[in-house]
Amino acid sequence: TILYEVSEGVAVVTLNRPDKFNAFTEKMNKEITDALKQAQKDADVRCIVLTGAGRAFNAGQDLGDVAGGEVDFGGFLRERYNPMILQFQKTEKPIIAAVNGVAAGAGMSVALACDIRLASEKASFVNAFVNIGLVPDSGGCYFLPRIVGMGKALELAMTGEKVSAAEALRIGLVNQVYPAESFQEEAVAYARKLAALPTRAIGLIKRTMYKGLEMNLEETLKYEAFAQEAAGSTEDHKEGVTAFMEKRAPRFTGR
Ligand code: LHQ
């Protein structure tokens, strides 16, 4: 239900159920988690792009799987969605959500769990949970207020109204918007740029910033010192300083 392709330092994970707007199934949850684990292990991967096949990015849980019967909501989340979301954080490489179309429900949450969001002009965001009498899950209640602030987060979650790409850019929900025609090329070009940067430092930036959300200043300063020791011992740090002194462009290798 997903495609996984690595080239020139970038792993592209494509959600691939286009006729169902790439809605999540148990299989897809598992495949995404495994793809992220594989990307983390593979030293050739220095940036990950998550995108959707066809018109949509992802429409959240496949409602065909939950309609009618009794659903064990807690079990659903604990066993399928929560481990997947945690894997986004455990992956110490930059993850870009290339939001090609609508991102709804848990599909929006997954975009929020990525580190950077790039949107096509045709992208939109729907915090669809409330529309079916549910609560934002898959980290939506964690990431949304942290990305757009509590005021906007409550509005989006309580109304379940669609947010356009332009509005998403205005409120800081996405980092960039590109024309639909060139979107995939722009997203891959952005990813290639990130993949050429010092990957270990970027992994440490990711870990330290997310940790910083949970800590006070003193704890954060301590963690920064710890992270800097790790970053300072990388070849890429040496290369960065050497290149600066030699007045040339650095050649980072991710080591
Ligand atoms: C879909 C879906 C979909 C199946 C569009 N499933 N087919 C966790 C724990 C346990 C249980 C519940 O869930 C969760 C986490 C969650 O994610 S809850 C939230 C689940 N997602 C939603 O409620 C979103 C439902 N979809 C929509 O609101 C709209 O379809 C959006 C806004 C995504 C797109 O709207 P439109 O652009 O107007 O497209 P459409 O509604 O016509 O949908 C296109 C097709 O995709 C259509 O199929 P069809 O065969 O008629 O062409 C939809 O049935 C199908 N589809 N979402 N989640």
Where do the domains of the chain lie, and which CATH numbers do they carry?
A: 2-195 (3.90.226.10), 199-245 (1.10.12.10)
Expressed in angstroms and rounded, the spacing between residue 4 Cα and the centre of ligand 1 is 24
Give the pLDDT of the chain (255 residues) as one tens digit per residue.
Answer: 999 999 999 999 999 999 999 999 999 999 999 999 999 999 999 999 999 999 999 999 999 988 888 999 999 999 999 999 999 999 999 999 999 999 999 999 999 999 999 999 999 999 999 999 999 999 999 999 999 999 999 999 999 999 999 999 999 999 999 999 999 999 999 999 999 999 999 999 999 999 999 999 999 999 999 999 999 999 999 999 999 999 999 999 999
Give the pLDDT confidence score for residue 93 in this predicted structure.
98
Nearest CA to ligand 1 atom 57: 59
61 ligand 1 Cβ < 6 A = yes
Give the pLDDT confidence score for residue 69 in this predicted structure.
84
pTM strictly above 0.95? yes
Nearest CA to ligand 1 atom 29: 59
Q: Identify which of 1, 20, 21 to mutate to test ligand 1's pocket (most ligand atoms within 8 A of the CB).
A: 21
Nearest CA to ligand 1 atom 54: 20
Nearest CA to ligand 1 atom 30: 59
Q: Identify which of 63, 81, 84, 161 to mutate to test ligand 1's pocket (most ligand atoms within 8 A of the CB).
A: 63
Give the pLDDT confidence score for residue 221 in this predicted structure.
98
Report which ligand 1 atom has the smallest distance to the Cα of 63.
Answer: 6
Report which ligand 1 atom has the smallest distance to the Cα of 126.
Answer: 32
Give the pLDDT confidence score for residue 226 in this predicted structure.
98
Nearest CA to ligand 1 atom 13: 61
Report which ligand 1 atom has the smallest distance to the Cα of 77.
Answer: 9
Query: How far is residue 166 CA from its own chain's centroid?
Result: 19
3 ligand 1 Cβ < 6 A = no
134 ligand 1 Cβ < 6 A = yes
Nearest CA to ligand 1 atom 11: 73
Give the pLDDT confidence score for residue 235 in this predicted structure.
98
Expressed in angstroms and rounded, the spacing between residue 155 Cα and the centre of ligand 1 is 20
